[in-house]
Structure 1
Amino acid sequence: MPASSQSLKGRISPMRWLLPIIGFASLSAAIPSPQYSSSTHSHAKRWGDLVQRHSWPAVPKGWKFHSDVPEDYKMTLRIGLKQHRFDALANTLFQISDPSHTRYGAHLSKSQVESLVAPHATSVSIIDDWLRGHGIDLSDSNSVSRSSGGDWITVEVTMPQVEEMLNAKYGVYSYGLDSDSKDASSSNRDYVVRTLAYSLPQAVHDHITVISPTTYFGTWRSMRATSFVDTTEVLADVDQNKLAVVTHDGVDIPVDCITNMTPDCLRRLYNIWYKPQATHLNKLGIVGYLGEFGNRADLQIFYERYMPSALGTSYNTTLVNGGGDDQSKPGREANLDIQYAVSISYPTPNIYYSVGGSPPFIPDSRTVKNTNEPYLEWLHWILALKDEEIPKTITTSYGDDEQTVPYDYQITVCNLFAQLGARGVSILFSSGDVGVGGGDCMTNDGSNKKRFQPGFPGTCPFVTTVGSTTHIPERVVNFSSGGFSNTFPRPSYQDAAVSTYLQAIGGMYSGLYNASGRGVPDIAAQGTRFKVILGGETKAIGGTSASTPVVAAMIALINDYRLANKKPTLGFLNPMLYSENVTRVLNDVTEGSNPGCGTTGFPAREGWDPATGLGTPDFLRLLATLG
């Protein structure tokens, strides 16, 4: 677990997250419940009794201190208030996502979710008093705003104000190859305004879930896109119908699909034969970060070569938090996600969310407002939409090492994904491309111990995490990330599957992973040598970023079928995926492992494993089971 405040570490046991009724992880329980009394309210006026909330023992890896922050710099501060009834939301989410429960599919509306996450009136009063005590005019709508659920307050503050409020020292930090340079105009670096530690008064400590920006450095280039260019020779396009075939579960697949993955290969491999019927109701969302833009001209070339029936159609782009859509700069990650999501789900409408952050910090800038924390920015934006405006399937191919994300930030973001799930949205994340961990795999809490490194947000138990396979018959591809969370306990929906695996491997890698943590991935799909058009040229791209939009597109097609038959969408997938009726129709992967951290990684075996999860989809069987 990342370095955390003494208060949190000393008082909180992960077991407190487990609700005894259903055994589900209640993540808000990690923040102690406030005591609502007049004495507490009186104590709230003493703002000098500070308790450290979070700190790093050193500047996070890859970042370097660049300069002090000008005193006239203004910052937009997001303050998350403790959600008074989040336990009820978690209980409800589990019930409506469990096919065996009588409430299955009874998704909540935006207003119903907001009523469950609204803060207690006492929390609001205490936090308001604290803000007023630091000279913040809560009546000024130009500098103060609240979320519709009331669980977030956004305030514009000066640097002296925020440093006094949080007992923090902010600085300008740079990330990039030339980070020793003081040249603030360098295009090779990113700049953020962050602090290495912050504190809160004891009186408000338990009423706040997270404050940002504070100690979360994992943005822009330190946040990874989970794809890469395959450096082996790009093979010429061939007529797959004329090639020798291999048989996969009774289906003939061209041998060329082993080295040239295309939409047609994926359809044959995973039995994706379905014509959407509810495209007026159903949408698939693709979330992109890091200045990655999909290219519409490249999509037409892709269609011309691999799916001529879709020529002339495209996708929509929605800009979030200053995101861009520069058609002169096609992005590898964006093109991969878009070309395979739209082709597999065709003609389902696809929306690409281009999520921005603040521009590079310029030391003499006075009013840079964006916090440049992409998950929070996008989640706040999407949750504010009406229910009918949100795609019911959303895929994202980015992540950070879990240990680089502050503990309270992880909990807060994960709980926001739970809100989306409760509203009937299926959220998929790639597991990552570093096996059980990349680099030296040393912990960053000051102990410098070797430990497997799972990736966030994939470790959040409210999202579905996708790993990768290769070859036919399928086996683990060596880069497929998987393992066990050091933050989130194992949720009940996967307890039996994960326990069976751990019993099978015995003491393997004892001490290198958290055996009681949430296991990832949940499912997998092909992830090597995907043909992608980039800047008009054919590239071979690999990664769990390739696998994730393919699985998401299949989920979107099942949602289409359900909507066409007047049924609710699948929503949060995991309790359903781990149910016996679904696991038996998946393609179990039992060969290979995911090396990393100087080890051969976790071996695949019968049933769930931390390399390919439950296996790969068989679309027609899933449709028959879930439709």
Structure 2
Amino acid sequence: MWKRIFVVVCTSTILSSFGTAASPLYGRADLAVKHEWALVPHKWEWQGPAPANHHVDLRIGLKQGKLDELIATLYEVSDPIHARYGQHLTKTQAEALVAPTEETTQAIHDWLDFHGVDLSSIAYSPAGDWLSLQLPLAQVETMLSTKYHTYRHLETKDTVVRTLSYSLPRALHDHIDVIHPTTMFGSMRDFRATFHVTDDSARSDTVVASNGTTVKGPAGQDIPVSCNTTVTPACLQALYRTEGYVPKAANKGNRIGIAGYLEQFVNFADLQTFFTMFRPDAVGANVTVISVDGGLNDQTMPGDEANLDTQYTEGLTFPTPNVYYTTPGTAPTINDSVTPPQRDEPYIDWLQFVLSHDDMPQTFTTSYGGDERACNLFAQLGARGASVMFSSGDGGVGAGTCGTNDGTNRTIFQPVFPATCPFVTSVGATFHIAPERGIDFSQGGFSVYFPRPLYQEAAVPPFLNRLGSTYAGLFNPAGRGVPDVSAQGEGFQVVVGGRVESVGGTSASSPTFAGIISLLNDFRISQGKPSLGFLNPLLYSVGAPAFTDITLGNNPGCGTPGFNATEGWDAITGLGTPDFVNFQELLGRL
């Protein structure tokens, strides 16, 4: 349902509410729109004016002083043929590159002071590039020359307070990247679709037995035939050839991190049951849970997503330490007398928490989304030596939303952020063995926001050439291609509440690929070498031969068959699935 909303604001009245003194910098004539929507975003509907007593947890993302230098450094330390390969930045070095200039900080302080904000109430990110403060809605409307309204999601029934347009003095446009909450309507609950229970009616405490029957994998290895439909850690170890590798760098700092939101709690009893059934040598091991900004881990509420992530990362990487970050984040709510404060943007909380520490895991996996501005925070993680994996999504070519929001309602293929961020490794999904196939829900395509990065310049054009004029006008051929890689994503055996569920989705693929990268980091660190860091420049160059190319499958959506898996990179399985032994041989030469 689409509704056109017209917002009229009497700016002169608003500005006079904080005094009569005129300011040439912040006056009415100086205002210019920072961002606006022509229509209410897809799947949202207007409900009415925002509550008069509403308070806003305002976040202001400032222009980062030397962002270009940070990104240039990221690519240099991530390029296996560059002299700086592996020379990752320290926390202090990275923060020095993203800190805003004194001019930017002063301009923002002057603006906030002009609008009566107590500067001592502001909280800052470690680099000072994000400001957080809580203000009455009426004051925020004055500052942004706008009017907020209440909107409801048609499917999830989530309710948010947002605006369709906001303005800033022209002099501030070059100092402020984004302000939230304003015009971003994304709900984290949408990302629940990255996993699903595949056989909910047949839950049991047993799994399909292989009866000793095996098939040959791409490298001639024996794989239990049961892995065609029932995936366990043993299946993944055999398929991706990690079987027999024993991590050696657990006492040298190698760790893997899992980001959790949406009140997804990892259950310790379920983890032990999983180990007993599928990884007996790991019985007694556990995952370390770190609370971010008051995040909980309620043992009475085992989560499918949290259990899937931790059971398979630890199932693949034991005895490597696993760290689960629990960040409070639920669907957006109205902050009034009967509902809790909004926590609909916890992603920035998690990123800032991790970046605030000198020491952090070398590998991360997560399946949730956030604001495009977070992309620059991932660049910081990569520059500091972390490899970041994301589920590509489960929407085929459409991400569940095939229409534009610019008033034309054109059909367009839209892969989702953060998989589209050029500084992360996006992971699509496969199923079956001998051979593996791209699965229909594996989300892939081309970003309409981020241009194609240099590391994809050789791999992506051949796919586009084979595609020809098919789907012309439905996607951005110059955009960043998704996914980068893929891994199994269907039939994962997960223990939830003491019982086995069969779970699928790219949320299974991402921790699987991340587990293999963590083992490769272990291999590197045990040899006295630095961690892999940002992966993509390596994967798309000398790393490409270490993948098993997937040439079967397609990802339908938007009323089309979607893209086909083909030789080389494609927009359903990326470069393919990993071969651990091949990667070991490659990394041993770097």
Aligned counterpart in structure 2 of residue 395 of structure 1, from 353, 361, 365: 365
- CA 1:361–1:67 in structure 2 vs 1: closer, same or farther (change >3 Å)? farther
- Residue 325 in structure 1 maps to residue 294 in structure 2: no
Instruction: Give a deviation string over 1:563-609, Cα, whole Å, max 9, x none.
Output: 12221100000000001x21112101111211111111111111111
Q: List runs of 5+ in structure 1 lacking aligned partners.
A: 1-41, 178-187, 401-408
Instruction: Give a deviation string over 1:204-225, Cα, whole Å, max 9, x none.
Output: 1111011111121212323444
Instruction: Give a deviation string over 1:212-261, Cα, whole Å, max 9, x none.
Output: 11121212323444111113856842443623434442101111110111
Report SS of the residue matched to 2:138: helix
Report SS of the residue matched to 1:342: helix
2:82 and 2:579 mapped to 1: Cα distance? 24
Alpha-carbon shift at residue 365 of structure 1 (Å):
3.2
Report SS of the residue matched to 1:240: coil
Query: What letter matches 1:279 in structure 2?
Result: A
Kindly, what percent of the aligned residue pairs are identical?
51
Aligned counterpart in structure 2 of residue 90 of structure 1, from 71, 75, 82: 71
2:111 and 2:518 mapped to 1: Cα distance? 45
Q: List runs of 5+ in structure 2 lacking aligned partners.
A: 1-22
- Residue 146 in structure 1 maps to residue 124 in structure 2: yes
Instruction: Give a deviation string over 1:422-468, Cα, whole Å, max 9, x none.
Output: 11110000101111115461112211001112111000000000001
Alpha-carbon shift at residue 385 of structure 1 (Å):
1.7
TM-score normalised by structure 1 residue count: 0.85
Q: Report if aligned partners of 1:173, 1:191 keep a CA contact under 8 Å in 2.
A: yes
1:77 and 1:438 mapped to 2: Cα distance? 28
Question: Aligned pairs, how many?
Answer: 561
Report SS of the residue matched to 2:158: strand
Query: What letter matches 2:89 in structure 1?
Result: L
Aligned counterpart in structure 2 of residue 496 of structure 1, from 427, 437, 458: 458
- CA 1:527–1:583 in structure 2 vs 1: closer, same or farther (change >3 Å)? same
Instruction: Give a deviation string over 1:357-408, Cα, whole Å, max 9, x none.
Output: 378645643996655213222212221122x1x11100011247xxxxxxxx
Q: Could you say which residue in structure 2 is the equivalent of 1:172?
A: 150
Aligned counterpart in structure 2 of residue 228 of structure 1, from 196, 207, 210: 196
Q: Report if aligned partners of 1:169, 1:195 keep a CA contact under 8 Å in 2.
A: yes
Aligned counterpart in structure 2 of residue 539 of structure 1, from 501, 517, 525: 501
Query: What letter matches 1:210 in structure 2?
Result: V
Q: Report if aligned partners of 1:74, 1:366 keep a CA contact under 8 Å in 2.
A: no
Alpha-carbon shift at residue 148 of structure 1 (Å):
3.0
**Cα RMSD, aligned residues only:** 2.1
- CA 1:611–1:575 in structure 2 vs 1: closer, same or farther (change >3 Å)? same
- CA 1:359–1:459 in structure 2 vs 1: closer, same or farther (change >3 Å)? closer
Q: Could you say which residue in structure 1 is the equivalent of 2:138?
A: 160
Q: Could you say which residue in structure 1 is the equivalent of 2:111?
A: 130
Aligned counterpart in structure 2 of residue 466 of structure 1, from 420, 427, 446: 427
- CA 1:56–1:510 in structure 2 vs 1: closer, same or farther (change >3 Å)? same
Query: What letter matches 2:116 in structure 1?
Result: G
Query: What letter matches 2:246 in structure 1?
Result: K
- Residue 561 in structure 1 maps to residue 542 in structure 2: no
Report SS of the residue matched to 1:122: helix
- CA 1:566–1:47 in structure 2 vs 1: closer, same or farther (change >3 Å)? farther
Alpha-carbon shift at residue 147 of structure 1 (Å):
2.4
- Residue 347 in structure 1 maps to residue 319 in structure 2: yes
2:168 and 2:553 mapped to 1: Cα distance? 48
Q: Could you say which residue in structure 1 is the equivalent of 2:84?
A: 103
| Larger displacement relative to structure 2 (289-298 or 228-237) | 228-237
- CA 1:74–1:617 in structure 2 vs 1: closer, same or farther (change >3 Å)? same
Q: Could you say which residue in structure 2 is the equivalent of 1:51?
A: 32
Q: Could you say which residue in structure 1 is the equivalent of 2:382?
A: 421
Q: Report if aligned partners of 1:47, 1:130 keep a CA contact under 8 Å in 2.
A: no
- Residue 276 in structure 1 maps to residue 247 in structure 2: yes
- Residue 251 in structure 1 maps to residue 221 in structure 2: yes
2:400 and 2:389 mapped to 1: Cα distance? 25
- CA 1:363–1:91 in structure 2 vs 1: closer, same or farther (change >3 Å)? closer
Report SS of the residue matched to 1:496: coil
Alpha-carbon shift at residue 620 of structure 1 (Å):
1.3
| Larger displacement relative to structure 2 (570-579 or 435-444) | 435-444
2:214 and 2:171 mapped to 1: Cα distance? 71
1:360 and 1:520 mapped to 2: Cα distance? 28
Query: What letter matches 2:32 in structure 1?
Result: V
1:510 and 1:238 mapped to 2: Cα distance? 44
Q: Could you say which residue in structure 1 is the equivalent of 2:556?
A: 595
Q: Report if aligned partners of 2:263, 2:330 keep a CA contact under 8 Å in 1.
A: no
Q: Could you say which residue in structure 2 is the equivalent of 1:33?
A: none
2:471 and 2:157 mapped to 1: Cα distance? 37
2:90 and 2:337 mapped to 1: Cα distance? 41
Q: Report if aligned partners of 2:199, 2:501 keep a CA contact under 8 Å in 1.
A: no
Q: Could you say which residue in structure 1 is the equivalent of 2:207?
A: 237
Alpha-carbon shift at residue 156 of structure 1 (Å):
2.3
Report SS of the residue matched to 2:97: helix
Aligned counterpart in structure 2 of residue 76 of structure 1, from 57, 60, 69: 57
